[in-house]
Amino acid sequence: MADEVALLSFWPSMFGNRVKIALALKGIEYEFKEENLRDKNPLLLEMNPINKKIPVLVHNGKPICESLLIIEYIDEVWNQKSPLLPTDPYQKSQAKFWADYIDKKLPATGKEIWSTNGEEQENAKKNFIEILKVLEGELGEKPYFGGDQFGFVDLALIPFYSWFYGYETFGNFSIEEECPKIVAWANKCMEIGSIAQSLPDPKKVYEFVSVIKGWLGIK
């Protein structure tokens, strides 16, 4: 019996796009169910009744929630191809640490760039660059955070690249000027077909955020 796999997500979501990339790298066929976050589908509420958030992976009727947990699940279940987490316990703990660092720092700071103005926005840009510089330090001279191969931390970070254009445009700054190593790393990741094909057009993400700003009355 073939696995039944579905992904409940929303096209610009960096968290959902992590899962899309993981599924693509593993070569897993799945059904993508686009969610409307302003009018949540009953299936989403049924599959994630606690947080009521995307993404949710549904594997043979069983839901798995939270993007990093989903990726770990995918890596363990479909372990014949494209390993994402190291097998060494220490290296695995470090990969999880940096993925958690990304989740605790980048989403909220990125949102502050497009949702604020003036001094508050300047502080958000400063904090955003500082976070990326910390990540540049961890990347070092390696081609990927995972070393020679694209791995868990790379997967946690690369979907944010689709949002960089929006952050730069709304914040009137250049990420590449401040953090060239991160942008070079992102461009290298985008040379992998499964990754490039899984991520949305940065300009469409920018247009989406412009609509959100309008809904929220942010100038």
Distances (CA, A) of 217 to 37, 48, 115: 18, 30, 10
Q: What is the 3-state secondary structure (H, E, C) of the chain?
A: CCCCEEEEECCCCHHHHHHHHHHHHHCCCCEEEECCCCCCCHHHHHHCCCCCCCCEEEECCEEEECHHHHHHHHHHHCCCCCCCCCCCHHHHHHHHHHHHHHHHHHHHHHHHHHHCCHHHHHHHHHHHHHHHHHHHHHHCCCCECCECCCCHHHHHHHHHHHHHHHHHHHHCCCHHHHCHHHHHHHHHHCCCHHHHCCCCCHHHHHHHHHHHHHHHCCC
Q: Which residues pair with 176 in a beta bridge?
A: none
Per-residue pLDDT of the chain (219 residues; tens, 9 = 90+): 578 999 999 999 999 999 999 999 999 999 999 988 777 777 777 777 787 789 999 999 999 999 999 999 999 999 999 999 999 999 999 999 999 999 999 999 999 999 999 999 999 999 999 999 999 999 999 999 989 999 999 999 999 999 999 999 999 999 999 999 999 999 999 999 999 999 999 999 999 999 988 887 787
- What pLDDT shows up at residue 199? 98
- What pLDDT shows up at residue 1? 53
HSE-CB at 9 with a 13 A cutoff on CA atoms is 27
Nearest to 182 by CA among 194, 167, 193: 167
- What pLDDT shows up at residue 46? 77
